[in-house]
Chains A and B, each alone.
Chain A
Amino acid sequence: MKTAAVDKNVRSRRSLSRNDRFTLGAFVGIPTMLQIVFLWAPTLITVVLSFTYWNGINVGDIKWAGLANYKNIFFDSPVFYDALKNNVVWLLWFTFIATPLGILLAYQFDRKIKGHQIYETIFYIPVVLSLAIIGIIWNFMLQPGGFVQGIMGRDIGNAISIWGNYDINSYVIMAIASWRHIGYIMLLYLAGLKAFDSSLREASAIDGATEWQTFRKIIFPTMRPVNVIILVITIIDSLRAFDLVYIIYGTSTAWPLLNILAFQNFAGQGISMKGAAYSVIALVLCVVPILVYLRNVFKEDLQ
């Protein structure tokens, strides 16, 4: 059986004409080149640059720095630990609060509770909005004279600064990020649930299991492949977090994240390659989740 298959492959490859081989080469070659030149090579070059000093203009000016940029980050940049803390807060919030809420919603909508169609649409709308718009909408809700301050009984005269207040801005940022994330997870999980055998659910209902028991003991375990993928997506998104905070604070480090520090260092001084080192740290943290994701998605092919 196996030899037959191999034989067939060999034959099909030999039967390709020169023209066909050229076509196949171009089909694979063009997209691969593009991906290497504009994605993989730049990423690798950034890794190399993180060990240098450079102003980003002339290649001749690149000076070897060894571990100096990393040393500077780890020992002389307290803001790095603030950023790390914020990334961890983001990760924990998303993993333990936002993602489970998305799953919970998906589960309820899959049961076709009253109004589920309109609810689904509403929860998904923030996901299709650009972060540039989300920034405006929330700025607008929270600013002095805006709705939220109004509800709290503060008019323009005695408004509080939400973005500058360190006791509350973390919560506000997490809330806005979740506004988007929950709908996204809901949709992904809902698609996974559609493939779930509903007779199992009916059987457990007849056996007298409560909805919560059914979910915890039957549905959640059966959905394991989807759970893993959603968890990994959540982790990667948390480590790549950038846009929302950039929209709110620009390149200032009022609420630092690893990628914000990376971008701030590129866009700001540009003297050292400290920014490159920051983005390498973020990249390294992403590697394991990316590998886990790939292993799960291509499970069958890898065997």
Chain B
Amino acid sequence: MSATIVQTKEYKNKQKVKDNFISAIIGFFAFVWIFPILWTLWTSLRPYNDIISYGVFSWPRHLNLDNYFQAFRVMGLTKYFLNTLYVMVPSVILILFLGSLIAFVVSRYSFRFNLTLLLFFTAGNMLPTIATYIPVFWLYIKIGDLFGNRSLLYNNYFGIILIHVAFQVGFATFVLSSYMKTVPKEISESAILDGCSVFRHYWNVMLPLLRPPLAALGVLMSCWIYNDFFWALILMSEDSKRPVTSALRQLQGQYVTDFNLLAAGASIVAAPTIILFLVLRKQFVSGLTLGATKG
């Protein structure tokens, strides 16, 4: 008896040493991982001339936030941040709303086409984006011409919102429907017995119960849409209307020689998603994992 205890103790001690070793190795890699970001931050605090005259590894003569003020002033970041909001807020609301509608019908009413619908939406989210590019581009221009205003969808926030919604609603549907399966059916049955209309059943009964996955998805979707630069780059022809990430992509070409300024710009644009992640990490993780590894 006591022999086994001693043995386990010895084993545990050995394991502890090993674990510390593993932790140290991973710690080293974690440092390597975060280093490019730290280096960018560090450079953004130094004036351009400092690096030019003393080299990258020189001890800083000046450390200040000048590059940050400069980035806001010269690059006009405030305007681009507002553009991002115009795209992001309506997109996220629409994605959550439309996704919850389909998820609600699929999980609460038994129609024959339920599974087909769910498969259709989930698969839609996985299609390669590029494959839709030519027809979408053509369609946007034609719909615009039809209403006598070429920039009704093309070169308009509305067009970018629509494409984000079309692409992401499948993911929202999938996540919300798998969550709804865990909500007891009895709640719905009693709502129907009480004579709730379909709309009230959705709005007053189900929607309040969906708050946790809606919050999780909202955080995740905001991050994805904030980060997308591709659609805004090809569907927006005017630079001044671009959201901040695609604007940054354009500015990169413009300020390529002044990397300290560019580093400050990149840090400013990266800050919202990093802060969002650090503060709302739980929502982030549950949104992602509910979607990817259910079952």
A interface, CB within 8 angstroms of B: 9, 12-13, 15-17, 19-20, 23-24, 27-28, 30-32, 34-35, 37-43, 45-46, 49, 56-57, 105, 108, 111, 113-116, 118-119, 121-126, 128-133, 135-141, 143, 145-147, 150, 155, 179, 187-188, 191-192, 205-206, 208, 211, 225-226, 229-230, 233, 236, 239-240, 242-243, 246-247, 259, 262-263, 266-267, 273, 275-276, 279-280, 282-283, 286, 290, 293-294, 297-302
- A226 to B293, Cβ gap below 8 A? yes
Determine the interface band of chain B, counting residues with CB < 8 A from chain A. Answer: 35 or more
Cβ of B148 within 8 Å of any chain A Cβ, yes or no, is: no
| Given A137-B266, A275-B134, residue A128 in contact with residue B277 (CB < 8 A) | yes
Residues of A within 8 A of B162 (CB): 34, 38
B292 touches A229 (CB 8 A): yes
Smallest Cβ distance from B211 to chain A, in angstroms?
A: 19
In whole angstroms, how far apart are the Cα atoms of A211 and B273 in the complex? 36
A280 to B131 Cα, complex, angstroms: 7
Instruction: For the complex, give the distance between the alpha carbons of A17 and B284 in Å.
Output: 40
Instruction: Name B113's closest neighbour in chain A (CB-CB).
Output: A28
User: Is there an interface contact between B37 and A137, defined as CB atoms closer than 8 Å?
Assistant: yes
Q: A190 CA to B229 CA in the complex, in Å?
A: 29
Bound-state CA distance A24–B209 (Å) is 19
- The residue on B at minimum CB distance from A299 is B295
Query: Does B69 sit at the interface, judged by CB under 8 A?
Result: no
| Chain A interface main SS type | helix
What's the minimum C-beta distance from B218 to chain A, rounded to whole angstroms?
Answer: 15
A127 — nearest CB in chain B belongs to which residue?
B277
Q: Which residue of B lies closest to A111 (CB)?
A: B19
The answer to whether B26 touches A113 (Cβ under 8 A) is yes
Report yes or no: B132 in contact with A38, Cβ–Cβ below 8 A: yes
Given contacts A129-B227, A187-B285, contact A35 B273 (CB under 8 A): no
Query: In this assembly, does B57 line the interface, its C-beta being within 8 Å of a C-beta of chain A?
Result: yes
Q: How far is the CB of B140 from chain A (nearest CB, A)?
A: 10
Chain B min CB distance to A236 (Å): 6
Could you give 6 example pairs across A and B, Cβ below 8 Å? A34-B165, A111-B19, A125-B37, A135-B249, A155-B55, A188-B293
> Contact between B227 and A125 (Cβ–Cβ < 8 Å)?
no
Q: B59 — which chain A residues lie within 8 A by C-beta?
A: none
Whether B252 contacts A136 by the Cβ 8 Å rule is yes
Alpha-carbon gap, A290 to B281, bound state (A): 28
Q: How far is the CB of B289 from chain A (nearest CB, A)?
A: 4
Task: Write the residues of chain B forming the contact surface with A, with a CB cutoff of 8 angstroms.
Answer: 8, 11, 15, 18-20, 22-23, 26-27, 30, 33-34, 36-37, 39-40, 43, 51, 55-57, 98-99, 101-102, 104-105, 109-111, 115, 117-124, 126-139, 162-163, 165-167, 169-170, 173-174, 192, 197-199, 202, 223, 226-230, 234, 245-246, 248-249, 252, 259, 262-263, 265-266, 269-270, 273-274, 276-278, 281, 284-285, 288-289, 292-295
Task: Please state if B56 and A266 are interface contacts (CB–CB under 8 Å).
Answer: no
Q: Are B294 and A297 in contact (CB under 8 A)?
A: yes
User: Whole-angstrom distance from the CB of A196 to the nearest CB of chain B?
Assistant: 12
Q: Known: A30-B98, A140-B263, A187-B288. Is A132-B249 also a contact (CB below 8 A)?
A: yes
What is the CB-to-nearest-CB distance from B176 to chain A, in angstroms, rounded to a whole number?
A: 12
Question: Are A119 and B128 neighbours in the complex by a CB distance under 8 Å?
Answer: no
Chain B contacts for A266, CB-based, 8 A: 133-134
Alpha-carbon gap, A16 to B285, bound state (A): 38
* CB within 8 Å for A31 and B26 given contacts A128-B223, A147-B56, A226-B293: no
CB-based contact A46/B131 at 8 Å? yes
Q: Which residues of A contact B197 (CB under 8 A)?
A: 17, 19-20, 23
Name the distance in Å between A292's Cβ and chain B's nearest Cβ.
Answer: 11
Q: Are A31 and B227 in contact (CB under 8 A)?
A: no
Complex: A251 Cα to B204 Cα, angstroms? 50
A280, B101: Cα distance in complex, Å: 31
- Bound complex: CA of A127 vs CA of B98, how far in Å? 26
Q: Is the CB of B130 within 8 A of A263?
A: yes
Assembly CA distance A19 to B252 (angstroms): 54
Contacting A49 at CB < 8 Å: which of B134, B170, B246, B293?
B134
Contact A39 B124 (CB under 8 A): yes
Contact A294 to B123, CB < 8 A, known contacts A113-B23, A226-B293, A283-B131: yes
Q: Are A132 and B19 in contact (CB under 8 A)?
A: no
**Chain B contacts of A239 at CB under 8 A?**
128
Docked-complex contact B273 and A24, CB < 8 angstroms: no
Contacts of B56 in A (CB 8 A): 145-147, 150
Q: A108-B22, A242-B130 are in contact. Are A32 and B117 (CB under 8 A)?
A: yes
With A43-B127, A140-B259 given, name 6 new contacts (CB 8 A).
Answer: A31-B101, A39-B166, A56-B138, A121-B281, A123-B33, A286-B126
How far apart sit A116 and B121, CA to CA, in the bound complex (Å)?
36
Contact yes or no, B229 A130, CB < 8 A:
yes
A242 touches B129 (CB 8 A): yes
Give A239 to B198 CA distance when docked, in angstroms. 42
In the bound complex, residues from chain B placing their C-beta under 8 Å from that of A121 are 278, 281
Given A46-B134, A114-B19, A122-B30, the answer on whether A191 and B249 have CB atoms closer than 8 Å is no
- Shortest CB distance B96–A (Å): 11
In the assembled complex, the Cα of A57 lies from the Cα of B137 at a distance in Å of 10
Q: What residues of chain A lie closer than 8 Å to B138, measured between beta carbons?
A: 56-57
How close is A128's CB to chain B, nearest CB, in angstroms?
4
Contact indicator A130/B270 (Cβ below 8 Å): yes
Does B115 lie within 8 Å of A38, measured CB to CB?
no
